[in-house]
Amino acid sequence: QVQLVESGGGLVKPGGSLRLSCAASGFTFSDYYMSWIRQAPGKGLEWVSDVTISGGTKYYADSVKGRFTISRDNPKNSLYLQMNSLRAEDTAVYYCARRKTGSHAFDIWGQGTMVTVSS
Amino acid sequence: QSALTQPASVSGSPGQSITISCTGTSSDVGGYNYVSWYQQHPGKAPKLMIYDVSNRPSGVPDRFSGSKSGNTASLTISGLQAEDEADYYCSSYTSSSTLYVFGTGTKVTVL
C-alpha cells in the first residue's frame, strides 16, 4: 500500500544537527513533489519545505531558511531533511507528505518523527 | 506569513450539520483555488479531506464538502457522526516565499 515512513528524530541540544529520512513505498516516488510539515506539541501544522520531482528546486519556510536543507534520492525512494543550528522552537513532530499531482494539497502523510531540541 | 484564521472550536449533535470557516487574504485563500482541508485525530497524522476548495479524494464520505467566497473558505460536515470528532485544519497555497500556510485549527466536538 502507499506509505511514507519517517525516521531519524530524537533529542538534540540547541545548536546541534539532525537528519530526518522518509522512506516511500507503494507508489512511483519520482513522479511526485514532496514536502516536510511539522507540528509543535499541542500546536497547529506548519509547512517547512518542498522539493520538486528532480530535486533541482527547493522551497523553505522563512523560519528554517538557511538552517534546513531538503533533498531526495529517487532511486532509493527517499526524502531527507538536514536540520542544522537547531533551536528550541524547532521542537515538533515532523511529517513527510506527498503533494497531490496537479494540486497544492498533501494527499499522503507519514506517521511523523519527533524532534526535541533541549539542553 | 500569518496563519489562516479558524474558530477554535465547533460542536454539533449527531446528524446535524456544522461549518468551519477559514479566513485568509487575497495573497492566499482569495487569490488561488488551492484550499485544502485536513482531519487529524489525536496522536495521528493528518488526513486529506478536501482539495482545490471543493474536491473530495477517493474514500472521503460525501458528508464532507468545501466552498470558498472571497478570502474565506469553508468546510461543511453534514450528518455529523461520532467519528468526525477531531481537529480540522485548512491550508492554502500562497504568493509569498512561504509556499503554504495552514489554519489555526478547529476542534470539532460531537455532543
Average pLDDT (B5-31) is 97
Q: What's the gap in Å between the CA of A93 and the closest CA on chain B?
A: 10
Please tell me if residue B58 touches chain A, with a CB cutoff of 8 Å: no
The model's confidence at residue A24, banded by pLDDT at 50, 70 and 90, is very high
The answer to whether the Cβ–Cβ distance between B45 and A47 falls below 8 Å is no
For every residue of chain B, DSSP letters joined together read -PPBB--SEEEE-TT--EEEEEE--TTTTTT-S-EEEEEE-TTS--EEEEBTTTBPPTTS-TTEEEEEETTEEEEEE-S--GGG-EEEEEEEE-SSSS-EEEB--EEEEE-
Question: What is the three-class DSSP state of A74?
Answer: helix
Say yes or no to pLDDT of B106 above 80.
yes
**Residue numbers of A between 13 and 32 with CB closer than 8 Å to B:** none
What's the confidence (pLDDT) of residue B61? 96
What's the confidence (pLDDT) of residue A10? 97
As a whole number, the mean pLDDT across chain B is 96
pLDDT in tens, A61-93: 999 999 999 999 999 999 999 999 999 999 999
For every residue of A39-71, DSSP letters joined together read E-TTS-EEEEEEE-TTS--EEE-TTTTTTEEEE
The model's confidence at residue B97, banded by pLDDT at 50, 70 and 90, is confident
Residues paired with B48 in a beta bridge: B38
Q: Which residue has the cell 511529517?
A: A95
Average pLDDT (A21-47) is 97
Burial of B60 (0-12, 13-18, 19+ CB in 10 A): middle
Average pLDDT (B60-74) is 97
**Cα gap B10→B99, rounded to integer Å:** 28
Nearest 5 degrees, angle CA B5-CA B110-CA B83? 95
Burial of B73 (0-12, 13-18, 19+ CB in 10 A): buried
